[in-house]
Amino acid sequence: MKGIFIVLEGIDGCGKSTQIKHLSKWLPNSGLMPEGKKLFITREPGGTKLGESLRQLLLNVCKDEAPKNLTELLLYAADRAQHVSQKILPIINNGDWIISDRYSSSTMAYQGFGRRINKLLIKQLEDIATQGVKADINLLLDISVSESIHRRHNTTEDRIESEGQVFLERVAKGFKTIAKEKDWTIIPANQQKEIVSKQIELSIIKSLSKMEKK
Ligand code: TYD
């Protein structure tokens, strides 16, 4: 039996990393995973060794060396292609479970809605890079743009985070549009982290039981 692939999405500062840390402890002890199967945690960009190098090129380059929009799109796609074939597919084919901090919808939200690159092109590239591999469960952690900016005011911004409020508004709208279209669970994430964790747990339990019935 194939493993389960879970993805957390959302704008910068929505708390994905904190919640994934929680899930990495909770899920293996929840009784939901089959006996003997492992849980892996990963992220995009940077889920593989090659991806780590691509992440540096995408996020931590000086302004003169910054990738143009199309280059940026292709680098995220390259990271994803490597991630899917080297890590995600082998893990789920082995029946193990994997949680990813971001996946292909981040490209639709940031490069499609944020940078306004042609969405059909992005969709075509997504099909190529993912080989059709889709997450079994997608969760959107929803915070407002002002909350995102507030939460990050003491941190050093990477290249994408420094795009500013108007860009982030488009990305946030993009995530909500995608979530509605694809019928994802939207978790209001502007609450105590323990409450957010509980809602995520319940949502995963519900999604898994729906999948069992199919
Ligand atoms: P992330 O790892 O969530 O940032 P952090 O380490 O600060 O938590 O994501 C890195 C950045 O890359 C984030 O600003 C969103 C951006 N991104 C895209 O623009 N397109 C994509 O396809 C992906 C996966 C990420």
Q: Is the CB of 160 under 6 A from ligand 1?
A: yes
What local confidence, expressed as pLDDT, does residue 154 receive?
Answer: 85
φ and ψ at residue 61, rounded to 5 degrees: -105, 155
Out of 79, 102, 121, give the residue to mutate to test ligand 1, the one with the largest number of ligand atoms within 8 Å of its CB. Answer: 102
What local confidence, expressed as pLDDT, does residue 160 receive?
Answer: 87
Q: Measured over all CA atoms, what is the biggest interatomic distance in the chain, rounded to whole angstroms? A: 53
CATH architecture designation of domain 5-213: 3-Layer(aba) Sandwich (3.40)
Q: Is the CB of 106 under 6 A from ligand 1?
A: yes
Residue 6 pairs in a beta bridge with: 99, 137
What is d(CA 155, CA 40) in angstroms, rounded to the nearest whole number? 27
What local confidence, expressed as pLDDT, does residue 212 receive?
Answer: 87
Residue 142 pairs in a beta bridge with: 188
Alpha carbons within 13 angstroms on the beta-carbon side of residue 121 total 11
State the 10-residue block means of pLDDT for the chain, 214 residues long: 97 96 98 97 98 96 92 98 98 98 98 98 98 98 95 88 93 98 96 98 97 83
Quote the ligand 1 centre to 214 CA distance (angstroms). 33
What local confidence, expressed as pLDDT, does residue 214 receive?
Answer: 74
Q: Is the CB of 142 under 6 A from ligand 1?
A: no
Q: Is the CB of 126 under 6 A from ligand 1?
A: no
Q: Are 128 and 107 in contact (CB under 8 A)?
A: no
